[in-house]
Structure 1
Amino acid sequence: MFELESPKYFYLLVLIPLVAVFFLFNLYWKRKQQAAFADMELFQKLSPEQSVFKPVLKLVIVLLAILCVVIALVNPKMGTKMETVKRQGIDIVFAIDISKSMLAEDIAPSRLEKTKQLVSQIINQLGNDRVGIVGYAGSAYPVLPMTTDYSIAKMYLQSMNTNMVSSQGTAFNDAIKLSVDYFDIKDTSKLIILVSDGEDHGDGANEAIEMAQEKGVRILTIGVGSEKGALIPLKDNSGKITSYKKDQNGENVITKLYPDVLQNIANKTKSKYIVGSNTKEVVEEVKKALDKIEKSEFESQQIADFESQYQWFLAFGFLLLLADLFLLEKKTSWVQKLNLFNEKKHE
């Protein structure tokens, strides 16, 4: 297996066609100047040692050298060995509300997008912790199992939307139960970070909270939205608002933040409730909460021995450039004797 450390440097490959175009232009200009000086047969007599093939060879060498240097900058890393490593951290499940109310835009750009920003920034602050993701609305949906691969976690996070769960509403009971079931290791410290606007259309979360308490799972809650409330926009594929969500009586639905519900869940599991309006403050508060939780040792498998391979490409590129310096454009005597290109004319 392999990975690329800095793929952004691939844009430098544009130098290859640019150098090739410059070479062709320069060759055309030289031919034009030579034609103005003398015809080709006379010019060959005046410069019998001038090789037609060598300039092309030098160009190929320079282009290969550029390719090698670019690959060296990208720094491919190779690793094929799977090994079990021991880590110290916390098992964290992000339970994310993906009900329609999360489309409200009382917090920019929307409650759901703000949630993604918050969770992504929290993940960026983690070290050796394992993370999982659960999405929920009227029912809960497993999005990502426990992993230490944060890049994968953030990729799955960004793909979340309100269409992932068919039944609408918000059921904390199902969300917490599914999140608790994610914790497969008994002796690790366990934390659920539940992000929502606090609207609960289910049967309440008391049963699930008791289940979390029995298994030593804390639930940190983050409230996203405003207590004043907002309409729920419905948009077309281009992102333009076409209408607003209505209730059974045809009235516009106003969705609000219910902090008391979220505060209650956090208090019952000896954790805390955080207002999710300021990303920096949320991340700092979560970090403080994580620092107070005892880290547990657990095992995880990962690809080991990922080693940088840039030095091979850099060395080969240097050798090519060195060869280009010593490669003259005059004909090589021993190649002339072979007459590979039928350059000798028979009298």
Structure 2
Amino acid sequence: MYELDESKYFYLLLLIPVLVAIFLWGEVWKRKKQALFADSSLLQKLSPEKSRFKPVLKFTVIATGLFMLILALVNPKMGTKVEKVKREGIDMVFAVDVSKSMLCEDMAPSRLEKGKQLVSQIINSLGNDRIGIIAYSGSAFPVLPITTDYNSAKMFLQGMNPGMISSQGSNLDEAIQLTEQYFEGSGNTAKVLVMVTDGEDHSERAQESATQARKKGIKIITIGVGTLKGGPIPIRNGNSVSYHKDKETGETVTTKLRPEALEAIAKSAKGGYINGANTKQVVDFIRKSLNNIQKTEFEATELANFQSQFQWFLGFGFFLFFLDIFLLERKTKWVQKLDLFNEKK
């Protein structure tokens, strides 16, 4: 098992063929100039100690040394150590509303982007908890299963958008039901669902689903994004912007935050509701809520501990550059005796 820490430095390998081309051009140029001075047999008599092989050897050593230094910059990591780790925490699923109403810009930069920022900051504040992500609008869609890989979670989070799910609306009850499936293998681990939504277009079954979730030990925390005043839903086409209109009346649709619906859902699942306008307050609210939940120990997990190997490539590269100092272009006596490279001639 291995991974490359800084693979972008592989582009520096393009320097090596450039150096090869320059070296070959230089050798051809030197031979042409020498041919103008005298023929090859006379040149060999004039400089009997000059080796034809040594310049190639010196260049090969330098090019190999440069290759090693580039590999050191890339920093290959090897999974040389596997250890079992036990963690204590809770299982938490983030259900993010990706319906079109979340594109409303009454909360900068938009409700959806603000919601993703909130989830990202909450993840940054977590310790050993396991997390999963669900996207929902007219239906619910699993984005990331329960994991402790926070970096992957934030990466998947940034890619969430209304185009993920074709059916529109805010089907909160289906999101709750999908969350229950996420938690099926969690055993006795404490379970929390954090819903990030404006509360619009929720079905009447959402509160009933929240009650059922509570019976299964799932606590629901709702975060409202948007304002009570609300705003239109933008439709962007290149540089032009229009707004979503009602198909029957032709009037611009105004979408508003529905905190009462979110408060009812949270209350049904013995959780809590908070407005998402202030990021710090939201993070503090979540942290305080989690501190009141008893953490349980997860089963042992095997983790590959990747260790940097750059020092070996760096050391060998410097060794080759140091060796080049002692490689002279004249013939080597002991090599001449072996006659490996026709040095006797």
Give the TM-score category using the shorter length. 0.7 to 0.9
Question: 2: CA distance between counterparts of 1:33 and 1:124?
Answer: 66
How many residues in Structure 1 have an aligned counterpart in Structure 2? 342
SS at the partner of 2:331?
coil
Question: 2: CA distance between counterparts of 1:136 and 1:295?
Answer: 28
5 Å-filtered alignment, 1:22-41, equals 27=26, 31=30, 38-39=37-38, 41=40
5 Å-filtered alignment, 1:184-263, equals 184-236=185-237, 239-241=238-240, 243-249=242-248, 250-263=250-263
Please tell me whether the aligned partners of residues 138 and 201 of structure 1 are also in contact (alpha carbons under 8 angstroms). Answer: no
Please tell me whether the aligned partners of residues 82 and 301 of structure 1 are also in contact (alpha carbons under 8 angstroms). Answer: no
**1:116 shift after superposition:** 2.3
When residues 279 and 51 of structure 1 are mapped into structure 2, their CA distance, relative to the original with a 3 A threshold, is: farther
Please tell me whether the aligned partners of residues 53 and 341 of structure 2 are also in contact (alpha carbons under 8 angstroms). Answer: no
What is aligned with 1:111? 111
Which digits, 9 at most, give the CA deviation of each residue in 1:302-336, with x for residues without a partner? 34343333343233323323332322222233544
Question: 2: CA distance between counterparts of 1:136 and 1:77?
Answer: 38
Which digits, 9 at most, give the CA deviation of each residue in 1:44-63, with x for residues without a partner? 54433233332232222222
Please tell me whether the aligned partners of residues 61 and 320 of structure 2 are also in contact (alpha carbons under 8 angstroms). Answer: yes
Question: 2: CA distance between counterparts of 1:246 and 1:330?
Answer: 85
Question: 1: CA distance between counterparts of 2:105 and 2:9?
Answer: 38
When residues 90 and 333 of structure 1 are mapped into structure 2, their CA distance, relative to the original with a 3 A threshold, is: same
When residues 229 and 47 of structure 1 are mapped into structure 2, their CA distance, relative to the original with a 3 A threshold, is: farther
Question: 2: CA distance between counterparts of 1:35 and 1:102?
Answer: 76
When residues 66 and 274 of structure 1 are mapped into structure 2, their CA distance, relative to the original with a 3 A threshold, is: farther
When residues 329 and 286 of structure 1 are mapped into structure 2, their CA distance, relative to the original with a 3 A threshold, is: farther
Question: 2: CA distance between counterparts of 1:277 and 1:21?
Answer: 61
SS at the partner of 2:322?
helix
SS at the partner of 2:107?
coil
Please tell me whether the aligned partners of residues 103 and 234 of structure 2 are also in contact (alpha carbons under 8 angstroms). Answer: yes
- Structure 1, unaligned runs of 5 or more: none
Normalising by structure 2, what TM-score?
A: 0.84
**1:136 shift after superposition:** 0.9
Please tell me whether the aligned partners of residues 177 and 211 of structure 1 are also in contact (alpha carbons under 8 angstroms). Answer: no
Question: 2: CA distance between counterparts of 1:20 and 1:199?
Answer: 65
Which digits, 9 at most, give the CA deviation of each residue in 1:122-158, with x for residues without a partner? 2233332111111111121222221122233223223
Identity %: 56
What is aligned with 2:133? 133
Question: 2: CA distance between counterparts of 1:107 and 1:149?
Answer: 29
When residues 172 and 37 of structure 1 are mapped into structure 2, their CA distance, relative to the original with a 3 A threshold, is: same
When residues 220 and 251 of structure 1 are mapped into structure 2, their CA distance, relative to the original with a 3 A threshold, is: same
Question: 2: CA distance between counterparts of 1:49 and 1:263?
Answer: 92
**1:217 shift after superposition:** 1.7
Matched, 1:72 2:77: no
What is aligned with 1:327? 327
Question: 1: CA distance between counterparts of 2:117 and 2:162?
Answer: 16
- Structure 2, unaligned runs of 5 or more: none
**1:277 shift after superposition:** 3.2
5 Å-filtered alignment, 1:1-347, equals 1-10=1-10, 12-13=12-13, 16=16, 27=26, 31=30, 38-39=37-38, 41=40, 44-79=44-79, 85-183=85-183, 184-236=185-237, 239-241=238-240, 243-249=242-248, 250-336=250-336
Normalising by structure 1, what TM-score?
A: 0.83
Please tell me whether the aligned partners of residues 210 and 266 of structure 2 are also in contact (alpha carbons under 8 angstroms). Answer: no
**1:343 shift after superposition:** 7.5
SS at the partner of 1:79?
strand
Please tell me whether the aligned partners of residues 136 and 171 of structure 1 are also in contact (alpha carbons under 8 angstroms). Answer: yes
Question: 2: CA distance between counterparts of 1:199 and 1:53?
Answer: 79
Q: Once superposed, what is the RMSD of the aligned Cα atoms?
A: 3.3
Please tell me whether the aligned partners of residues 80 and 303 of structure 1 are also in contact (alpha carbons under 8 angstroms). Answer: no
When residues 264 and 338 of structure 1 are mapped into structure 2, their CA distance, relative to the original with a 3 A threshold, is: same
Please tell me whether the aligned partners of residues 65 and 316 of structure 2 are also in contact (alpha carbons under 8 angstroms). Answer: yes
**Given residue 210 of structure 1, which amino acid in structure 2 is its aligned partner?**
T
**Given residue 326 of structure 1, which amino acid in structure 2 is its aligned partner?**
F
**Given residue 291 of structure 2, which amino acid in structure 1 is its aligned partner?**
D
**Given residue 221 of structure 1, which amino acid in structure 2 is its aligned partner?**
T
When residues 50 and 122 of structure 1 are mapped into structure 2, their CA distance, relative to the original with a 3 A threshold, is: farther
Which deviates more, 156-165 or 192-201? 156-165
